């Protein structure tokens, strides 16, 4: 259905932006029963909420005094993050541009004195984050006496981020007859309590139930061995080749580890977590917007408010803690009618829990296998062929150069050169590591390519729970080699020996120097060094010795109570890397 009658400047702005009819949430706030009432709106991110509350406020804003003496704002919009507040300002600017409405944005990380000057000069709409708005209010720069509308955008996230006191102080300073519009993707009890306290006879609107989950998002789930999580990430990125993708991890440490691993493999990636400054965040987001980076590795908190139009792939590297987090993460894609894909990487032990979470979120996810290396190469061939046969526009100079090349090369050689140029710099897919059924040695003597080998040793053994199931991926990550380049593994009481072909020995040693951190509490602190002689035969076959409980132990990913959902066996981005816990070691921080 078309839009109802709107003020001419607003109607013209919508037409210029290509709006032919309202989205469900926009139609709901413009309905006759919503006129003049407080609204409690449940709608997903990317559903057109900003335009919706802009339309709801339009009559009051356009009827207000816009002269030089009009200092106090008519509408106040509060958003949880700097990025979301800036996004809301941009949307309202084009919506009210033809009406000459002044909009002031007040967010952390910007020049507060410049914001105060803009407020003193007069404005009709103020958009800001709770902390900065409270600061301006307490310093007398923000006058709310003439306020007609207050909007809380993504109110559930603001409460999750600890802004309750800021919100309450701001709302207490607003006039009693103002209208309040509260938008939230979910409606937990704290949001309902906030609405009861600060709204009067609010109309409850929900557009979520019309489309379970996110209607424009295709959900997939892949079940993997815990040791295969990082390789699964790589293969998913290579298979989809999304213009922009975001990968969600649970902790800052895991963001740092996965970002480092991806950049080493040649992916153009940026990281966002609580340890990054606002300047670093801005640089990362700009790199995503202008195409210098295609992948963002982020924590839940750091990714809030991100709106990248080209974002079409979300990968849940670590399982969301509940259905609400699943929807918030996935909602970064599939926005404003665009299609998106959300993939959950699920360690085998957590499949039942994830299936229950999907039911809670009313999401239908398709369980699919992780793309294999051959499937990725086949898709690469299809993409390359489709790209190469497209017609191209070229200048006369380019055509002249092309004719010279054709004169010097056969069609086959020319095509090969073109294929090689297109393949240059594309990361190779990973072969998923097969999970061992026991701790016996891998016998490479039966395999080709291991006639000439070099032995290396690690300073961990059976007493530290050494096991091929996590030693193999550890060596692949530390040494930047594949599992097929690792030969026999011999596990002794306090040390482990293994082989690599001499053809890759130099590369393996160089990678170990770059990835090793002596004294580190994680896998990078494990000593891996060349062995001057081969171990005695049967080093892994003798009877186990009684464990020495007085010595500090490194623990493998499946060992004891310290393993859990933050990493290792239950789904950290490092997969099966050993988690080294020593007495007095600091706990991991979560965003």
Q: Which of 296-305, 349-358, 475-484, 560-569 has the lowest mean pLDDT?
A: 560-569
Please check the confidence at residue 238 and state whether its pLDDT lies above 50. yes
**Range scoring the smallest mean pLDDT among 99-103, 214-218, 458-462:** 214-218
Q: Which residue has the higher pLDDT, 474 or 302?
A: 474
Give the mean model confidence (pLDDT) for residues 244-273.
92
444-570 adopts what CATH topology? Alpha-Beta Plaits (3.30.70)
Residue 464 and residue 501 in contact, taking contact as beta carbons nearer than 8 Å:
no
As a whole number of angstroms, the distance between CA 467 and CA 91 comes to 55
Mean pLDDT of 468-497: 86
Q: 119-131: per-residue pLDDT in tens?
A: 999 899 999 999 9
pLDDT band at 265 (very low <50, low <70, confident <90, very high): confident
Q: Is the pLDDT of residue 38 over 90?
A: yes
Q: Mean pLDDT over residues 473-478, rounded?
A: 87
C-alpha triplet 37, 165, 155: angle, nearest 5°: 45
Confidence of residue 571 (pLDDT cuts 50, 70, 90): very low
Comparing 140 with 162, the larger pLDDT belongs to 140
pLDDT digits (tens, 9 = 90+) for 52-100: 999 999 998 998 766 555 678 999 999 988 888 988 999 999 999 999 8
Predicted confidence at residue 133, as pLDDT, reads 96
DSSP for residue 83: H
The pLDDT of residue 569 is 37
- Residues 523-538, mean pLDDT to the nearest whole number: 78
More confident residue, 466 or 455: 455
Packed helices 8-16 and 49-62: angle between N→C axes, nearest 10 degrees: 150
Question: 500-523: per-residue pLDDT in tens?
Answer: 988 889 889 988 988 888 888 778
Q: Which helix (H) or strand (E) holds 455?
A: strand 453-458
pLDDT at 43 over 80: no
User: CA 580, 586, 588: angle at the middle one, nearest 5?
Assistant: 80
Most confident listed range (196-210, 500-514, 539-553) = 500-514
pLDDT higher than threshold 80 for residue 555:
no
pLDDT at 491: 87
52, HSE (Cβ side, Cα atoms, 13 Å): 30
Q: Is the pLDDT of residue 262 over 90?
A: yes
Mean predicted confidence (pLDDT) in 360-388:
88
Query: 301-310, 403-412, 413-422, 565-574: which has the minimum mean pLDDT?
Result: 565-574
Picking from 138-142, 342-346, 391-395, 493-497, which range would have the lowest pLDDT averaged per residue? 391-395
Termini Cα distance of the chain: 43
What is the structure's pLDDT at 361? 82
* pLDDT at residue 31, rounded to an integer: 92
Predicted local distance difference test score (pLDDT) of residue 442: 37
> How confident is the model over 154-180, as a mean pLDDT?
89
CB 486 within 8 A of CB 456: no
Among left, alpha and beta (phi > 0; psi -120 to 50; other), residue 480 is left
Looking at the predicted structure, is the pLDDT value of residue 390 above 80? no
Residues 350-357, mean pLDDT to the nearest whole number: 87
pLDDT band at 544 (very low <50, low <70, confident <90, very high): very low
User: Stretch 163-172: mean pLDDT, rounded?
Assistant: 92
Q: Of the ranges 351-355, 526-530, 568-572, which one carries the lowest mean pLDDT score?
A: 568-572
pLDDT tens digits, residue range 407-464? 888 888 878 887 777 776 688 888 775 433 333 333 333 455 566 888 999 999 888 8
Total Cβ atoms within 10 A of residue 201: 6
Within 394-437, residue ranges assigned H as helices are 396-408, 411-423
Structure tokens at 424: 């240059």
At 352, which helix (H) or strand (E)? helix 351-360
Question: In angstroms, rounded to a whole number, what is the distance separating the alpha carbons of residues 22 and 41?
Answer: 16
269-277 average pLDDT score: 87
Report the pLDDT value the prediction gives residue 69, as an integer from 0 to 100: 53
Superfamily of domain 8-206: P-loop containing nucleotide triphosphate hydrolases (3.40.50.300)
Q: What is the mean pLDDT of residues 336-365?
A: 85
Say which CATH class 217-372 falls into: alpha beta
Distances (CA, A) of 509 to 456, 475, 505: 10, 11, 6
State CA 130 to chain mean position distance: 24
Q: Count CB-CB contacts under 10 A for residue 115.
A: 22
219 vs 210: CA distance, rounded Å: 17
């Amino acid at each position: 259905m078309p839009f109802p009658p709107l003020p001419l400047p607003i109607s013209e702005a919508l037409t210029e932006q290509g709006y032919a009819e309202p989205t469900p949430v926009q139609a709901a706030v413009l309905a006759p029963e919503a006129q003049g009432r407080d609204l409690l709106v449940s709608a997903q991110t990317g559903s057109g909420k900003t335009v919706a509350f802009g339309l709801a406020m339009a009559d009051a804003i356009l009827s207000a005094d816009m002269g030089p003496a009009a200092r106090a704002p008519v509408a106040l919009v509060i958003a949880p993050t700097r990025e979301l507040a800036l996004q809301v300002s941009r949307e309202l600017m084009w919506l009210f541009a033809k009406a000459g409405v002044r909009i002031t944005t007040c967010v952390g990380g910007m020049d507060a004195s410049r914001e105060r000057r803009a407020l003193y000069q007069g404005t009709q709409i103020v958009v800001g984050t709770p902390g900065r708005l409270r600061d301006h209010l307490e310093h007398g720069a923000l006058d709310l006496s003439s306020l007609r509308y207050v909007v809380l955008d993504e109110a559930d996230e603001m409460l999750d981020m600890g802004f309750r006191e800021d919100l309450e102080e701001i709302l207490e300073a607003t006039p009693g007859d103002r209208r309040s519009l509260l938008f939230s993707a979910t409606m937990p009890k704290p949001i309902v309590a906030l609405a009861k306290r600060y709204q009067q006879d609010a109309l409850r609107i929900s557009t979520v139930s019309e489309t379970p989950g996110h209607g424009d998002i295709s959900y997939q789930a892949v079940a993997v061995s815990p040791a295969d999580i990082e390789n699964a990430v790589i293969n998913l990125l290579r298979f989809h080749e999304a213009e922009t993708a975001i990968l969600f991890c649970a902790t800052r440490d895991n963001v740092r580890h996965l970002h480092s691993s991806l950049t080493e493999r040649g992916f153009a990636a940026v990281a966002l977590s609580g340890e990054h400054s606002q300047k670093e965040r801005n640089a990362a987001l700009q790199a995503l917007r202008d195409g210098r980076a295609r992948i963002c590795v982020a924590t839940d908190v750091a990714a809030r408010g991100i709106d990248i139009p080209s974002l079409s792939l979300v990968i849940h590297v670590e399982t969301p803690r509940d259905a609400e987090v699943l929807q918030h993460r996935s909602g970064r894609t599939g926005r404003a009618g665009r299609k998106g894909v959300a993939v959950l990487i699920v360690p085998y032990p957590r499949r039942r829990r994830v299936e229950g979470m999907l039911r809670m979120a009313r999401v239908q996810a398709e369980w699919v296998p992780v793309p294999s290396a051959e499937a990725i190469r086949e898709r690469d061939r299809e993409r390359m062929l489709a790209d190469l046969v497209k017609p191209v526009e070229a200048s006369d100079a380019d055509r002249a150069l092309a004719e010279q090349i054709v004169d010097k090369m056969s069609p086959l050689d020319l095509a090969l050169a073109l294929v090689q140029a297109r393949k240059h710099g594309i990361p190779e897919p990973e072969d998923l590591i097969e999970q061992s059924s026991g701790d016996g040695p891998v016998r490479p003597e039966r395999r080709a390519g291991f006639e000439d080998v070099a032995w290396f040793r690690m300073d961990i053994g059976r007493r530290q729970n050494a096991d091929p199931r996590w030693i193999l991926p550890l060596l692949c990550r530390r040494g930047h080699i594949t599992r097929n380049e690792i030969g026999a593994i011999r596990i002794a009481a306090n040390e482990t020996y293994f082989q690599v072909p001499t053809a890759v020995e130099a590369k393996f040693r160089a990678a170990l120097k770059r990835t090793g951190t002596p004294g580190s509490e994680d896998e990078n602190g494990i000593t891996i060094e060349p062995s001057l002689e081969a171990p005695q035969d049967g080093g892994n076959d003798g009877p186990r010795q009684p464990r020495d409980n007085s010595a500090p132990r490194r623990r493998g990913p499946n060992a004891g109570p310290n393993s859990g959902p933050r990493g290792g066996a239950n789904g950290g981005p490092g997969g099966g890397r050993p988690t080294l816990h020593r007495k007095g070691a600091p706990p991991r921080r979560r965003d």
